[in-house]
Amino acid sequence: MKRELAAAALLLLLIAGAVWNLHSADRLNETVERSLHRAEVSARHGDYEAALTALENGRQVWDAHGTYTQIFFRHPDLDAIQDAFHGLEERFLQEDPAWPAALGLLRYHLYTVDEMEHVTVGTVF
């Protein structure tokens, strides 16, 4: 009976861990998204310096969760996010009017990673 109870407790712990992971991924994505939104507003007003600062804040938040993301997310997805951060940074530095495409790509990769953690019919199957 002890073994079954331990297994049930471990299973509950794993379920709790999965729920915690889901919230953590959502929180991280929302925090980064807030920075990206600030960067977007600044860039639309032509203030690329402020856009770069906001983007850098978002990147710092993302990098600060490096251990968490490396443990739970697929590494090729993380590489794609880093590349997208770098791509958007380049666009802002060059004041390239094509930055919305780079921002869209970064948002897409962040959304994909977060979406993978959500239990939906689409992600399960």
Which residues make up the interface to other proteins (CB under 8 A)?
1, 3-4, 6-8, 10-11, 14, 70-76
Q: How far is the CB of 85 from other proteins (least distance, A)?
A: 19
Which CB atom, from 10 or from 93, has the smaller least distance to other proteins?
10
* Terminal Cα distance for the chain, rounded: 35
Which CB atom, from 1 or from 124, has the smaller least distance to other proteins?
1
Q: Provide the 8-state DSSP code for 117.
A: T
Look at residues 64, 80, 63, 73 and name the one whose alpha carbon lies nearest to residue 113. 73
Which CB atom, from 45 or from 118, has the smaller least distance to other proteins?
118
Q: How far is the CB of 70 from other proteins (least distance, A)?
A: 7
Q: How far is the CB of 77 from other proteins (least distance, A)?
A: 9
DSSP string, 44-70: HTT-HHHHHHHHHHHHHHHHHTHHHHH
